[in-house]
Amino acid sequence: MTTEDTINIRTATDDDWDAVALLDAHAFGEHQNSEDLAETQILTSSEHVVMAWDGSTPVGVAMHFPMSVTVPGGEQVDASGVSWVSVAPTHRRRGILRRMFTEQHRKLDAAGAPLSLLTASEATIYRRFGYGPATEEHAIVLDRRFAQFHKSVPPVTGVRLIESTEASTLLPEIYHRWQCKTAGAQPKPPIRWQRFFADRENRRHGLTELFFIAHADGYVAYRRSPTESKVVVQEFIAVTDQAYAEMWQVLAGIDLVDTIEVSQAPDEALPFLLTNNRLPKITGLHDALWCRIMDVKAALEARTYGVDAQFVLEVEDPFLDAGGTFDVTISAGAATVTRTEAAPDAKVGLDVLSSMYFGTHRATRFAAASRLWTRDPEALHTVDIAFATDRASVMGWAF
Ligand SMILES: CC(=O)SCCNC(=O)CCNC(=O)[C@H](O)C(C)(C)COP(=O)(O)OP(=O)(O)OC[C@H]1O[C@@H](n2cnc3c(N)ncnc32)[C@H](O)[C@@H]1OP(=O)(O)O
C-alpha cells in the first residue's frame, strides 16, 4: 500500500473544528482564540470544509466562504472564497493538497459560482489549479513632514475625527458604496465588521487601538506605533476623488509622527496630489486577490468591456477542464460568449485569463511573457483593449 492510499478525503463535520484549528495553528504559526474560530464558523459551515485524514489523524484542510465580488462594470458575481488551506508538515508533498483541491473544486463547480477567489501564501502554488493574481497593491511609506499638496488640490472641508462607536454606524454604509463601484471588492460580512470594531489585542500586532477619520464619502482607520514615529493605515476607503484628497491631507497633518504607511492600488493619485511626486516611497509590490474563473461563459458575460470586438479565445484548463474554444462577441460593452469550432485568435491558460479578467493585468504583458498567444498583433490589440479597465481592481477584505 502507498502512503497516499491511507489518506481519506472527506467533508468536515461540526465535530472537526478542533482538528481544523490545530492544523491551521501549525501551518500559519498563530493559535486561533475562541472568538476568531467562532467568527470563521459564522463565515462558513462544516459542509464547506474539506479535510484529509490519515487514519484518525487530521492531516489537511481547505475551506471556502461563500461571497460575491464586484466585476468590471459593477455587477456582483457569486464567488467562493477559498481559505484556511493547509497540509500538516508530517504529510507535505504527497499530493494531499491536490486531492483536497480536486474534491473541493468539484463541489464548488457543482454549486455554480462563476468565480473562485483566494489570497495566496506563496505565488508558486495556485497557477496549476487555474488561479492567477487579479489585484495588486503597493506598500507605500510617506514622510509626512515634507508633504506639500499641489495648489489645485481641494482643501479639507469635510473630514472629522470620530470615535469607534460612531465609526461602527458610519463605516459599513460608506464601504458598501465603495465596494459596489470597485472591481475586485467583496461585500464585507457583518461578522467581519464585528471583528474590526472589537479591535482585539491579538489583531493589533503591537500597534495601538484603531483611530478613525471620516468624510461623507470615505474613511481611514489607522493605528500608531508605540515605539516608532509612524501611522499605519489599516483601511483607506474613498468613494470619491475629493474624499481621497481630503483624507490624505488630514493624514499628512498628523504632527508628531514622521511617516504614514499604507497599502494601496498602484494607480492611486497620491504622488500627484503632492508637489513632490517622489515623496511616497514604494517599498513593496504584492498581489492580493487571486481568481480562478470556474465558468468561462458566465464570468465573461458578467463583466463589461471597453470596446466592441469579436474574437475567438481558446482557453486551457488542465485542472478541471473548464476551458474550450469560445467566440466572444462584444457589443455596447456586453459580451456574448458561445462555444465554437472556429480557429482561435488567441490562446491562453485559465490562470492567465483569470488574471486578465479584473483588468489589472494586461494581455500585452502576458503576450510579452509568452503566456498568451495571438494570431497577430491586431488580435493582441483587440484582446488587450477589450479586457483593460479604467481603474485598477482592489480587493475589499482579506480572507
Ligand atoms: C488560500 C490559502 O489558504 S493560502 C495558504 C496555503 N497554506 C500554506 O501556505 C500553509 C503551509 N503550507 C502547506 O500547508 C502545504 O505546503 C501546502 C498546502 C501549500 C501544499 O500541500 P501539499 O500537500 O504539500 O501539496 P501537494 O503535494 O498536493 O502539491 C500539489 C502541487 O503543488 C505543488 N506545491 C505544493 N506546495 C508548493 C509550494 N509551497 N511551492 C511550490 N509548489 C508547491 C506541488 O509541487 C504539486 O505540484 P504538481 O501536482 O503540479 O506536481
- Residue-wise pLDDT for 231-243, tens only, equals 999 999 999 999 9
- Give residue 262's pLDDT band: very low, low, confident or very high (50, 70, 90): very high
CA distance 48 to 67: 12
- In 3D, which of 21, 14, 56, 53 has the Cα closest to residue 36? 21
Query: From atom 37 of ligand 1, which residue's Cα is the shortest distance away?
Result: 125
Do the Cβ atoms of 258 and 145 come closer than 8 Å? Answer: yes
Q: How many CA atoms lie within 13 A of 351 on its CB side?
A: 16
CA 320 – ligand 1 centroid, Å: 17
Terminal Cα-to-Cα distance of the chain (whole angstroms): 38
CA distance 316 to 93: 25
- Give residue 5's pLDDT band: very low, low, confident or very high (50, 70, 90): confident
Residue with grid cell 495588486, as numbered in its chain = 136
CA distance 327 to 77: 21
State ipTM: 0.98
User: Residue 97: CB within 6 Å of ligand 1?
Assistant: yes
CATH class of 3-113: alpha beta
Query: Annotated binding residues for acetyl-CoA, as ranges?
Result: 85-87, 93-98, 121-122
Residue 189 has pLDDT above 50, yes or no: yes
pLDDT of residue 46: 97
Q: Is 334 helix (H, G, I), strand (E, B) or coil?
A: strand
CATH architecture of 294-387: 2-Layer Sandwich (3.30)
Instruction: Give percent of the chain above pLDDT 70.
Output: 99
| Domain ranges, ordered by start, for the chain | 3-113, 137-286, 294-387
Total residues found in the chain within this entry: 399
Instruction: Give percent of the chain above pLDDT 90.
Output: 98
Q: Rounded to an integer, what is the distance from CA 109 to the centroid of its chain?
A: 20
CA 222 – ligand 1 centroid, Å: 34
User: Residue 125: CB within 6 Å of ligand 1?
Assistant: yes
Residue 1 has pLDDT above 50, yes or no: no
- Give residue 73's pLDDT band: very low, low, confident or very high (50, 70, 90): very high
Interval 194-209 mean pLDDT: 96
Residue with grid cell 472537526, as numbered in its chain = 16
* CB neighbourhood size of 201 (10 A): 8
CA distance 236 to 233: 7
* CB neighbourhood size of 175 (10 A): 23
Could you report the per-residue pLDDT of 313-356, keeping only the tens digit for each?
Answer: 999 999 999 999 999 999 999 999 999 999 999 999 999 999 99
pLDDT of residue 332: 97
Domains 137-286 and 294-387 share a fold: no
- Give residue 198's pLDDT band: very low, low, confident or very high (50, 70, 90): very high
Could you report the per-residue pLDDT of 267-324, keeping only the tens digit for each?
Answer: 999 999 999 999 999 999 999 999 999 999 999 999 999 999 999 999 999 999 999 9
Question: Which CATH number is 137-286 given?
Answer: 3.40.630.30
